[in-house]
Each structure stands twice: as C-alpha cells, then as structure tokens.
Amino acid sequence: MQRTKRSLLIGFLLGALVLGVTALAGDLRQVVGHIGAFDWQLAPWILGAACFSYAVRFIKWHYLVRRSGAVDLGRGEDLRIFLSGFPLSVTPGKVGEALKAVWLNQASGLPVSRGLSVVLADRLSDGLAMVLLSTAGVLALPRAWPAFGLAAGALILVVVLSQFRQLTLRLLGLGSRLPLVGHLVPAAVRFYEAAHTLLRPKPTLVAVLLGGAAWFGEGAATFGVLVGLGPNPSTSLLSIAVFAFAFSTIIGALSALPGGLGATEASLAGLLVLLVPLPTATAAAATLLLRLATLWFAVLIGLVAWALSPDLVLARRAAQTAEFVKDNTIGRALTGRDNQGQET
C-alpha cells in the first residue's frame, strides 16, 4: 500500500503538470476565457453521464467477480472495492489496480490469482469496447490506423489465445526455457488457469457489451462538454465525441503512462481540432473540462471511498493479507516450491 501511495503521488503530480501544459499549449488566457464562458447548466448532464458510466462499469465488475467464484461477496462490499480502485488508475501502467485482488481476497477469500484474473478481464473488455466504439471513426481517419491496428490486434490475440488452452500452455512452456523470464512461467500458468473461465466467449461478450455501454456514457459526457463550449448539438457531433474519447483513451492506454496522462490529453485535443473542428484554445479547454469531469472526478470518488474504508487502505489486516500474498503466492510462483520446500 505504501508503494501504491507513492505511485499515486507521482500520478497526481504528473496530472497537475499535464493540466498546466494543456492550458499553456492552448494559450492560457484564451483557455481560461473559454472555461469562463462555458454553459455550466450542462454540468449535471456531464457528471450524470460520467456516473452512468461508473454504474454500468460496476455491473460489469460485479458480474466478473461472481463468475470468478466470489458468490458470497455482497454488492455493497464489492461496490466499496470497485470505487476504491478508481485512484489506482493513475498509477504507472495501472499496476496499482492489482491491489483490488488483495482486497477481494480480504473480503471474500477469493484466491489472489483469481482476483487478478478479474482485473485482467475487466481491463481487457474495456479495451475491446473502446476498439468497437472507435471503429467507425478510424475508417475515416487513415492516419490513426497503425495505433488502432496495434491495440485491436493485441487485444484480439489475447482473447483468441485464451480460448485454446493447450496451445497457450504449450507456448508458456516454451517460455520457461528463456533465461530472463523462464522463472516467471509457473506464475503465468496459474494466472492463465484462473483467467481462462472469465475469458470464455459468453462472459467476454457480456463484459464487452457492458463496457461499450459504459464508455459510451463518457462519450456522451464529451458531447456535453463540446456543446457547452459552443458547437451546435447534432448526431454528427455526438459520433465525433464518442470516437475522440474512445480513441484517445486507447492511445493513453498504449502509452502505459499513469491514467494515460499526457498521451490522452494530446490525442484528444488533436482529434477535436481535426474533426469538429475546434480552435486550439477551445480544444484545450474541452480537454481540461472533460478530464476533470471523468478521470479526476472518478479519482475524487475513489478517495472518498478510501476515507470511508480504513480497513482497505490503512488497517493491519490489509497489510497482513498483502504479506500473505507475497509469501505464499508470489513466493511459490517465483521459486516453484510450496511452504514445506517441496517442488510444485
């Protein structure tokens, strides 16, 4: 948890830096003027669309948690874990989200490997949903094809390989012979076995459809921000808003930066200039408002959940659980031995 907090501090500092750079890149005085002239009557619509997204994402998360075997975990406790995971999205590479697997173990006894598979399936379905939401826009933007193809190809490859258990295990077995990563293969095998059920066609389809609905909500929030800055509402503007949000999020995910900070803002502002089209200062203002209403609004909700959940982030029990995970799961994975020193 202490390492996670240090990573969060890095994410917050980077976030503040990115917001400042975005404002300066669009001419600070003009950006402030656009924000001052924003139609704030649309704020409830924008935040409501963001909350709709969070609600549908929770339905997906709870579905995956139950599919993983944690059938005795109540919705209230699961919601607390889900909301507490929001700040973890701004850790480098989102690696802090693995902490949710520890919290699931603490709350329900779900093995950490299965908890990690829930996090993986959740992120994977989000990625596939973003790809689907981006498809129509990419067809009209040839310069975006390489990044889109890389993201779509990687996600599809993971899903396809997950359906062929013997082939995947054989490939992992070949990896055990490699000098630098071979010792990690036992952990990868156990992780794959835990994730295999969640990556089957039916749960993957359900998760992707729910993810598509959820992220469309944030696309609707993008639409509200654009309308508030002056453009007339239209179905064309809505489609551009959904595409710009989804594709810039993919770019941010590919960058592996905390919360996609920097990469998401730059690609979103560039798409708004290119597609709407908006002046640079207006696009910068839209980007700032949208990131505050989506990413940082979610982080704020998560920090409130942290304040109300000391047993998750501060209690001795959580620290003991983390030590148990470190000693028993990671230790056995890296050494290939159990607690009695016998080979596994």
pLDDT tens string, the chain, 344 residues long: the values are 677 777 788 888 888 899 899 888 888 899 999 999 999 999 999 999 999 999 999 999 999 999 888 877 888 999 999 999 898 888 765 667 788 888 998 888 888 878 888 888 898 888 888 888 887 666 656 666 676 677 667 767 766 766 666 766 676 666 666 666 566 666 666 666 666 677 777 888 899 899 999 999 999 999 999 999 988 998 888 988 998 998 898 888 877 777 788 889 999 999 999 888 899 999 999 999 999 999 999 999 999 998 888 777 654 444 444 444 444 443 343 333 344 444 43
Residue-wise burial string across 116-142, b where 16 or more C-beta atoms lie within 10 A, e elsewhere:
bbbbbbbebbbbbbbbbbbeebbeeee
Query: Is 18 inside any structural domain?
Result: yes
The answer to whether position 339 is within a domain reads no
Q: Which amino acid is at 246?
A: A
Measured between alpha carbons, how far is 334 from 185 in angstroms, rounded to an integer?
8
Judge whether 104 and 110 are in contact, CB under 8 Å: yes
Residue type, 34: H
Q: Which amino acid is at 76?
A: G
The position carrying tokens 């975990």 is 73
- State which H helix or E strand residue 116 sits in: helix 112-139
Quickly count: other Cβ atoms within 10 Å of residue 241's Cβ.
Answer: 27
Q: Note whether residue 341 is domain-resident.
A: no
Rounded-to-integer distance, Cα 101 and Cα 106, Å = 9
Q: Which two tokens stand for residue 225?
A: 């921000």
Q: How many Cβ atoms from other residues are within 10 Å of residue 236's Cβ? A: 12
Q: Are 302 and 84 in contact (CB under 8 A)?
A: yes
Q: Residue 137 and residue 36: Cα distance in Å, rounded?
A: 31
Q: Assess contact for 157 and 150: CB atoms under 8 A.
A: no
> CB count, 10 Å around CB of 222?
30
The total of structural domains in the chain comes to: 1
To the question of pTM greater than 0.85 for the whole model, the response is no
The parent domain of residue 73 ranges over 2-334
